[in-house]
A and B are shown apart, each in its own frame.
Chain A
Amino acid sequence: MTPTIAILLIITFVLSTVGLLLLIWSIANNQFSHGQDAARTIFSPGEEGHSEDPARPSDQTFTGDNSEQAEAIEARWIADQSSRTAVLTWLSSSVFWLLLGSFFGLASSIKMHLPEFLTASEFLTFGRIRPVHLNAVTYGWASMAGIGVALFLIPRLFKTSLVGGRYAVIGGFIWNIGLVLGLSAITLGLSDGEEWLEFPWQIDILFVLGGALCAIPLLLTAANRKVEHLYVTSWYLMAALVWFPFLFLIANLPFAFPGASGATVNWWFAHNVLGLWVTPIGIGIAYYMIPKILGKPIISYQLSLIGFWSLALFYSQVGIHHLIGGPIPTWLVTLSIVHSVMMSIPVITVAINHHGTMVGNFGRLKDSPTLRFVWIGALMYTVASLQGSMEALRSINVITHFTHYTVAHAHLGMYAFLSFILFGAVYFIMPRLTNWEWPWRKLISLHFWLVSIGILIYVVSLTVAGWKQGVALLDAAMPFMDIVKMTLPALQARTVGGALMTLGHLVFAFHFIAMLMRSGAATEQPTLFRPATKETAQ
């Protein structure tokens, strides 16, 4: 072992000791003791027990029993309006990138079983449209929608108007320019060559800048806040917005990490985009939406704090499970596997809170679109993560590593978990910003069923085929081409599932635009899955 490594090990040790001391300090100082008070900060006075859900008939919408409570509701309405321009900028962009990304995903999928499809042009070759798909959905759809929802939640969580929303609007424009340039660069063959980091690093500066501009309103609004407690959602959102620029900057340092160590940086980054960027946003949103729609605080606030810090500690070190069996030091792989398994701690604590809060209220899934999307997303978070912890074990990974199984897991996480939560959040947010109800209940229903059936086909077919592919690859008895042929039916099924999902996105985008244009009839009634008259009691 070189002396440098010894020194670094010592630093690491000192740092973790400091971390432990900090933890003890915070426990000693009652940082953890707000308990259920803090869990209630998302409600305005007197609102607890009432659902805040666009899908509830208006006669049950809480407007306050006395003037003080009515004022608080009014203040929240003002806070919502304060973020309107910023949120709409980010959300509208994200819907556009979702559509674009879906078409590229669908085309990639078709190409995998019909390789002659669109081969004439170099701009449409599989190896270019596939990274366009990944980058459009990750940095365009998931990230922009995530930031948009975060911008909406910040003033609500801090119970004050958004300060400096203009910066976020400018940030949104810069981010969009970055996407246009980055995706064009990939199409033109100017990729940087590493998965998740394809955009040329010069263009990446735009994302760091755009993201940092969103941190300004966050900080200004936090400084202005009117609540004592910081609700757990704001922990996740604040941490994510700190992490992302940092990650993106280091991983993109040009020419800093050659050879095999480049691979470790690459996957350190890629998993952090998932674990420290989109995941905290997704979990944070669910932590807000589920109790808000049920009108009932989460069951354990303490657990949620443990879940947060353990996520930060463990998730930041899992990246190397993408290189199991690769040409890198064994200790590094083992470190990441251990942390991947430890991830079950935050996952289970979050699961207890999300699903535990739902207990006794599952009936609401029948009428509330937001709740249905968000809760299924939260459930899929639990599933994808527990699957991930297993997948990181050497004995499983040796089978699944290079196969379609990983792709199925990727979509279970990025789609069934994250995108579902984002869909749900958009259904919640839009009526509050446009002061208009979703015009067509049937379209929400159609969207839901198309994407649900689509992702089900997608994940099931590739999971099964990927597993069989992985087992077969381990034994040279089966010729490689036979394995390829064996996976073909699943690749075709993926195209079917993907087509349904893409259709669902078209429905969603159409409805979103209708919402922006305030189409349909004005109504006092929020839009539910079922007509309001059949509403069951809480």
Chain B
Amino acid sequence: MKRALAIMVGAALILLLATLTLVVMPYLQMSAEQVPPDLKPYTEQQQRGRQVYIANGCVYCHSQQPRDPSFAPGDKDRGWGRPSVPGDYAYDEPHLLGTMRTGPDLFNIGARQPSIDWQLMHLYNPKAIIKGSIMPSYPFLFRHVKEPVEGDKVVNIPPPYGPETGKIVATEDALALAEYMLALDHTYPAPTLPKAPPKSDEPKENRAP
């Protein structure tokens, strides 16, 4: 029994060590990180949109973390933005960094596609806007009505993607999600860039798109 216990205690100690280095220390360091002054907290509606993003698993295809151009030039060149810093995520709970780019990075989608109509149309059916897109459509975030009533947000879908009769109206969830997309705009300058120095021939201004 003594030896069995020794193994289990040893195993637990090693994990404790890893917890210190991989959980506690980064937490302390990053929570001391400066929050960029231009970063605005989410509004209630944007936060709700964030929940819709989580509920429907957008994170499995989209990242929110452009990399440093000296490391991976494609990110900036595609217009995805400057490298993100810990402070950019100060209001993100849970984080939605993502590890797949089946679709493009969304860290600055609000700056790239600032129109709410574009966002709604795209959510209703991505193919209506981007030929050959493999993003699924989200019809369940919309209502199909005969006659929109006062206050309804009508989304005009180009044929043949819309319904033959009646109108498509965004639900609260769709509006919230679209607002969240617009809030993903991190084009302000970052106070601290990652410690790994970008190549010195990279002028500072170039980091923000």
Interface set of A (CB-CB < 8 Å, partner B): 2, 4-5, 8-9, 11-12, 15-16, 18-19, 22, 31, 111-113, 115-116, 119-122, 125-128, 130-131, 189-195, 222-223, 225, 230, 234-235, 238-239, 242-243, 246-247, 250, 255, 257-266, 268, 272, 276, 309, 312-313, 316-317, 319-320, 322-323, 325-332, 335-336, 394, 398, 401-404, 406, 473-476, 480-481, 484-485, 488
Contact = CB atoms under 8 A, between A and B. Distances in A.
Given A243-B11, A325-B71, A335 B4 contact: no
A239 B95 CA distance: 30
Contacts of A402: 63, 99-101
Taking residues whose C-beta sits less than 8 angstroms from the other chain, chain B's interface range is 35 or more
Given A125-B57, A195-B59, A480-B78, A317 B134 contact: no
A157 B167 CA distance: 68
Interface centre among A19, A127, A235, A268 (most CB of B within 10 A): A127
Main SS class of interface, A: helix
A333 to B, nearest CB: 9
B8 A238 contact: yes
Contacts of B28: 2, 4-5, 8
A127 B12 contact: no
A327 B10 contact: no
B11 A238 contact: yes
Interface stretch (B40-48, B86-94, B149-157): B86-94
Contacts of A258: 31, 89-90, 92-95
Contacts of A113: 134
28 contacts: A15-B16, A119-B136, A119-B139, A122-B56, A125-B56, A125-B57, A127-B61, A189-B55, A193-B59, A194-B95, A222-B1, A238-B4, A243-B11, A246-B15, A257-B27, A258-B92, A260-B88, A262-B93, A263-B89, A264-B22, A272-B15, A316-B17, A326-B67, A327-B84, A327-B85, A336-B22, A476-B77, A488-B134
Interface centre among A2, A111, A257 (most CB of B within 10 A): A257
B23 A268 contact: yes
A113 B135 CA distance: 9
B86 to A, nearest CB: 4
Contacts of B83: 327
Contacts, number: 267
A259 B86 contact: yes
Contacts of A336: 22
B139 A485 contact: no
Nearest to A313: B14
B174 to A, nearest CB: 12
A398 B101 CA distance: 13
Q: Which 8 A-B pairs have the closest CB atoms?
A: A127-B57, A189-B55, A476-B77, A316-B18, A402-B101, A259-B89, A239-B11, A325-B67
Contacts of A119: 136-139
B34 interface: no
Interface string B152-195: 00000000000000000000000000000000000000000011
A171 to B, nearest CB: 18
A16 B17 contact: yes
A263 B95 contact: yes
B20 A12 contact: yes
A115 B17 contact: no
Given A115-B137, A260-B86, A317 B22 contact: yes
Contact of A230 (B3, B73, B102): B3
B8 to A, nearest CB: 5
Nearest to A485: B132
A115 B7 CA distance: 50
B56 A128 contact: yes
B97 A263 contact: yes
A257 B93 CA distance: 8
Contact of B22 (A5, A239, A246, A320): A320
Interface of B: 1, 3-4, 7-8, 10-33, 54-61, 63, 65, 67-68, 71-74, 77-78, 83-86, 88-97, 99-102, 104, 126-127, 130-141, 194-196
A352 to B, nearest CB: 22
A259 B92 contact: yes
A127 B133 CA distance: 16
Contacts of A262: 89, 92-95
A277 B131 CA distance: 43
Contact of B95 (A223, A260, A476): A260
A329 B95 contact: no
B95 A242 contact: no
Nearest to A11: B20
Interface centre among A247, A316, A394 (most CB of B within 10 A): A316
A332 B26 contact: yes
B12 A246 contact: yes
Given A195-B59, A398-B72, A328 B26 contact: yes
A176 to B, nearest CB: 24
B20 A325 contact: no
Given A131-B60, A325-B68, A476-B74, A332 B22 contact: yes
B140 A323 contact: no
Contacts of A4: 28
Given A115-B133, A127-B55, 14 more contacts: A8-B25, A15-B13, A111-B136, A115-B137, A120-B140, A128-B55, A230-B4, A257-B23, A258-B93, A262-B94, A327-B85, A327-B97, A332-B26, A475-B77
Contacts of A266: 94-95
